[in-house]
Structure 1
Amino acid sequence: MEHDVRQAESANPFEWSGGHPALDLVNTLDERPSSTPIENLATYHDLTRFAALAGLLDRRTAARLQRLDSRSGSYILKRARKLREHLHDVLATANSGRPARQPDLDALSAAIQAAHAAQTLVSSPSPGLANRRWSPALTPEIPLHACSLAIECLLVDEDRKRIRKCSASDCDVYYLDTSKGRRRQWCSMKGCGNREKQRRWRSATR
Structure 2
Amino acid sequence: MLVAVLFVTCQNGDMMHSFKCGAPVLDFVGTLRARRNVVPTEMLTSPESLEAWFRESGLVDADASCEPSDLEQAIVLREAIYLLVVATLAGDDYDAGALELVNDTARMPSAVPQLTQRRRRRVEATPQQALSSIARQTVQLLGGPDAALLKECSRGECTQVYLDRSHGSRREWCAMDPCGNRIKAAAYRARKRTEARSASPVRSGR
Normalised to the residue count of structure 2, the TM-score between the two structures is 0.78
Q: Distance in 2 between matches of 1:17 and 1:188?
A: 6
Aligned mate of 1:95, from 69, 89, 96 = 89
- CA-based RMSD: 2.7
Q: Are the equivalent residues in 1 in contact too, given 2:146–2:163 (CA < 8 A)? A: no
- 1:202 pairs with 2:189: yes
Shift in CA distance, 196/107, structure 1 to aligned 2, threshold 3 Å: same
Higher Cα radius of gyration: 2
Aligned mate of 2:100, from 91, 100, 106 = 106
Aligned mate of 1:47, from 27, 46, 50 = 50
SS at match of 2:162: strand
Shift in CA distance, 160/9, structure 1 to aligned 2, threshold 3 Å: same
Q: Are the equivalent residues in 2 in contact too, given 1:108–1:148 (CA < 8 A)? A: yes
SS at match of 2:186: helix
Deviations 1:99-129 (A, max 9, x none): 222221111101111235x86x999xxxxxx
- 1:82 pairs with 2:82: no
Q: Distance in 2 between matches of 1:139 and 1:93?
A: 30
SS at match of 1:25: helix
SS at match of 2:109: helix
The aligned runs of 1:145-160 (5 Å cut-off) are 145-160=132-147
Q: Distance in 1 between matches of 2:188 and 2:26?
A: 31
1:81 is aligned with what amino acid?
A: I
Match of 2:5 in 1: 5
Q: Are the equivalent residues in 1 in contact too, given 2:80–2:101 (CA < 8 A)? A: yes
**Structure 1 residues not aligned, in runs of 5+:** 124-132
| Number of equivalent positions | 185
- 1:186 pairs with 2:173: yes
Measure how far apart 1:46 and its partner are.
1.5
Aligned mate of 1:27, from 26, 30, 38 = 30
Q: Are the equivalent residues in 1 in contact too, given 2:107–2:132 (CA < 8 A)? A: no
Measure how far apart 1:20 and its partner are.
0.6
Q: Distance in 1 between matches of 2:114 and 2:28?
A: 29
Q: Are the equivalent residues in 1 in contact too, given 2:43–2:49 (CA < 8 A)? A: yes
Measure how far apart 1:158 and its partner are.
4.2
1:45 is aligned with what amino acid?
A: E
**Structure 2 residues not aligned, in runs of 5+:** 116-121, 195-206
Q: Distance in 2 between matches of 1:203 and 1:138?
A: 50
Shift in CA distance, 186/80, structure 1 to aligned 2, threshold 3 Å: same
1:42 is aligned with what amino acid?
A: T
Q: Once the two structures are aligned, what percentage of the paired residues are identical?
A: 28
Q: Are the equivalent residues in 1 in contact too, given 2:153–2:174 (CA < 8 A)? A: yes
